[in-house]
Structure 1
Amino acid sequence: MPALSQRLARLAFAGMLGWLALLFLPLATAPGPAEEAGHLLLLAPLVLVPLYLTASVPASFEPAPRSLDVASWLLLPGMLGAAGSLLVPVGLVAGLLAAPWLLAAAAVAVWSVRRGLRLWREGALDAAEAALVLGWATLPGGALWLVLARSGAPTDYTGLIVLLTAVHFHYAGCLVLVWAGLLGRTLPASLRGLHRVLGVGLAVGFWGVAAGIALIRGPAGGSTVETVAVVVLAASAIGAGGLGLVRAGRIEDRMAGLMIAVSGGVLILAMGFALWFHLGARVGADAPDVAQMVSRHGWLNAFFGLWGALGWRRLRPRPAAAVR
């Protein structure tokens, strides 16, 4: 396990340096929201996935499961491919460059599902572990949408919407559920019922949004399914963020607690913007457009993901003992 943890930490550190450098480079996308979405998307494979993966793995794993070890070795080519795919024009080459990230994401999902099945057979699959399994199992969906976005494969959506869908899968589909699962590991029995309800809401809301967008061919809140799902997803995420704020004050590691509190608070703000975007026009309020959502909701998601990743990774060696 130490070798795996060190490998993931090095990947995240190198990925952060690479991501910061890419902020000063023009991506091979249309300027404006698409380029901004590309930078936000790259933060996930380059930095957040390695950090959250370290936080998700029990420190008692020794040696690391073979499926997880394989997945960890696939992360580097996946990270490089994801970054490279956004530095060349849309087409076959960009799609091929993005493909290694899909392979790495699939390997992570295989490890997660196998672990979930083992816990289920042992009667140890609680709401926290289920959220982790569901979150990591969603990661290939985000990678697939990245491949579609960069290859220019024909879809019913514009290029920007395909890219934003990849961002949505990485953050709302994978990382929010993983964050909620890590939170659940630290909760006392009195709060686990609430956490279970929030976890179900996150999963149902996310896939409901995906179904609603598929029904109307666009993220404009035009279908009842999407609208209801957005409310469920946002309310569940706001609840999870609030629960994280409450629990952060009980964490003995004050630095980790501060990071988790910041992450939970930012998650609440990010989902507030999501509600505003989808419901603003219906209640007579001027809703932000897609460009404003990328620059506000998108970057809030990035801050949520990064602060949470640092906080939960800091707690990983002793998740149970860290809570009074």
Structure 2
Amino acid sequence: MTLLITGAGGYLGRALVAAARARGHAVRALTRGAPPAGWAGDSGIESWQADLSEKVPQAAFAGIDALIHAAARMGGDDADHGRETVAPTGPVLEAAARAGARLVLVSSMAVPGTTGLAPMAVVDETTPPDPDPALRDAYARAKLAQERIAREVAARHGAPLRIVRPGAIFGPGRVWNAHLGPTLGRLVIGPRHAGELPLCWRPHAAQALLLAAETPQAPGVEVIHALDDDRPDRARYLAALGRPGLPLPWRALDLGAAALAPVAPRLPGLLRRPTLRARLMPLRYANARLHALGWRAEAGFEAAMAAALSGRDVA
């Protein structure tokens, strides 16, 4: 296949390009900055450099079989996310749909909401998106907006669309995530319970997204949660990092955030109940749709984390 990958120079994008080439695909790698030097020696990688917040290079879409839209802002405020994540989504997916390509959007497990969920409930693709994004962070709001735009484009063109929601991606140079809780020095403060962390090792995320692009799909929308099979709780994760934890009861944290609800819009992240629940609430997760695509785990948690801490993407 010929795949167009946006955000190809980013943390996930570089892994996607490498995995796509290993599977024999030709790659059009669209980057905001200069492409990695190693790509120059690979005739199967065609580099395109463009700032999607300013212009979408239409010529890059000619003849592609599938688009994996991974370009997105990770940090910043609503204006940053609006400019670099939300605004380019429509034009990028429109160009791919006009080219007759399959559409794959890299979304996030930040999208499902926790409203109405009890502790230890199972979150899967039928869990509704968060109905109150105003009390979430800018990243979650941007991903909710991306999914809405992607659905509109797919419906307008009758195009096949897979929305893939990776969990918190970890790998070399990235072993921390917002689900662990706030820190005080090396001490990590937060609940200790049997709830799972919604994680996705970087090679697992790349495999999931490539399968989403490769696997035939009828016109319509399919949502897939890209999550590892081996999902540790916080205590197990912190043990792998060698970090001490200060346990706080989940019930107390939740009641405290509920009491602050009248002034929540003026409070920082974890003091707003929807944000607190999205990051720290004890939940379980399902990835059956991912397995239905043919995805298979390449490593368990400890092996994947050991590889990440050693700077490798292979267990």
Does TM, scored on the shorter chain, surpass 0.5? no
TM-score (norm 1): 0.30
Q: Is the strand fraction higher in 1 or 2?
A: 2
Could you say which structure has the larger radius of gyration? 2
Question: Larger % of helix: which?
Answer: 1
State the TM-score, normalized to the length of structure 2.
0.31
